[in-house]
Amino acid sequence: MPRAAPTIRIEEGDARDLPGVAPGSVELVVTSPPYPMIPQWDESFRHWGARTYPEMHERLAEVWTACHRALVPGGLLAVNIGDALRTGDDGFRLWPNHVDVERACEAAGFRPLPYILWKKPTNKPNAFLGSGFLPPNAYVTLDCEFILLFRRGALRAFPRADLADPTAGTRRPNGIGGSRRSGTMSAGYGRDRSAAARARSHRRSLGA
Ligand SMILES: C[S@@+](CC[C@H](N)C(=O)[O-])C[C@H]1O[C@@H](n2cnc3c(N)ncnc32)[C@H](O)[C@@H]1O
C-alpha cells in the first residue's frame, strides 16, 4: 500500500537547543555548521561568545549533544565540514576541523562511521603548487571537504513490513554487505557484528 506523503515542519532557532524537537524523535540529521577559523563564520561564533579555535569547537559540541538527544536509537548524523587555513599568532597553519568534529561527536556519544571525502573541483590552475614552481615556497591547498557520518548507538532493526528485501538488515541498499548465504561481513555497517546478530534474531522471531 502506498505510504502517505510526509508532512514538513520548519522550526527556526538555535541548533544547540532544538526546543521544538522531541528527544528521540529524529531519524536523520544533515547539517553544515559554521566552520571554525573561516572568516565568514567568525560573527556566528562571536555571537556564541567564542573567539578561539577550542572555544568554537566547544560551542559546536553543544550542537552535537543536542543532535544526539534528538535522534532515535540507530539514527544517523551527517556533518559537512571543511578544514581551515588561517594565520594566527603562531603564523600560518591548518585548523583540522574534521578531526575535532570526529572527536567531539564521539565524546557526545556517537559511533563514528566511514566518512565521505567530498572533492571540490578547483578552477585554480596553481592549486597544488600555490607559489608556482619554486620548491622552497611550494604549498598544497585544500580542495576537499568532509561529510562525516555518525550513528547513535547500534543498527536499527526494521519491521519486516518495511523491508523491500527480506534478507536486509545486514545488507546495505546498494547490495554491498553481509548476507546470511555468504556469511561474510564487509566494512562499515556489516562489521557491526552485534547489530547483525540482533537483526538475524529479529528475522527469526518474524519467521523469516
Ligand atoms: C556553513 S553554513 C551552511 C549553509 C547551508 N548549507 C545553506 O546552504 O544554507 C552555516 C549555517 O549555520 C547557521 N547558523 C549559525 N549559527 C546557528 C545556530 N546557533 N543554530 C543554527 N544554525 C546556525 C548559519 O546561519 C549558516 O546558515
**pLDDT tens digits, one per residue of 93-126:** 999 999 999 999 999 999 999 999 998 866 555 5
Q: What is the pLDDT of residue 120?
A: 80
> Taking Cα atoms as reference points, which of 122, 30, 124, 33 lies closest to residue 78?
30
Residue 147 · residue 80 · CB < 8 Å: yes
Q: What is the pLDDT of residue 194?
A: 62
Residue 149 clears pLDDT 80, i.e. is over it: yes
Dihedral-angle region of residue 49 (phi above 0 means left; psi in -120 to 50 means alpha; beta otherwise): left
Q: What is the pLDDT of residue 129?
A: 53
15 Cβ below 6 A of ligand 1 = yes
More confidently predicted of 121 and 11: 11
Q: What is the pLDDT of residue 88?
A: 86
Our CA angle for 62, 63, 69, nearest 5°, is 90
Residues 41-52, mean pLDDT to the nearest whole number: 95
Residue 52 clears pLDDT 50, i.e. is over it: yes
Q: Which of 11, 31, 32, 40 to mutate to test the pocket of ligand 1 (most atoms within 8 A of CB)?
A: 32
Residue 127 clears pLDDT 80, i.e. is over it: no
Show me where the domains of the chain are located. 26-152, 161-205
Q: How far apart are CA 106 and CA 201, in angstroms?
A: 28
65 Cβ below 6 A of ligand 1 = no
Residues 135-143, mean pLDDT to the nearest whole number: 69
Distance 48 CA to ligand 1 centre (A): 13
Residue 191 · residue 185 · CB < 8 Å: yes
Q: What is the pLDDT of residue 90?
A: 86
Residues 24-47, mean pLDDT to the nearest whole number: 96
Percent of the chain with pLDDT over 70: 68
36 Cβ below 6 A of ligand 1 = no
pLDDT in tens, 155-198: 987 777 766 655 555 544 443 443 333 333 333 344 455 656 66
14 Cβ below 6 A of ligand 1 = yes
Q: What is the pLDDT of residue 178?
A: 38
Mean pLDDT score of the chain = 80
Q: Which fold has domain 26-152?
A: Rossmann fold (3.40.50)
Distance 33 CA to ligand 1 centre (A): 5
Nearest CA to ligand 1 atom 4: 32
Q: CA dihedral defined by 103, 107, 110, 115, rounded to 10 degrees?
A: 0
Distance 49 CA to ligand 1 centre (A): 16
More confidently predicted of 165 and 88: 88
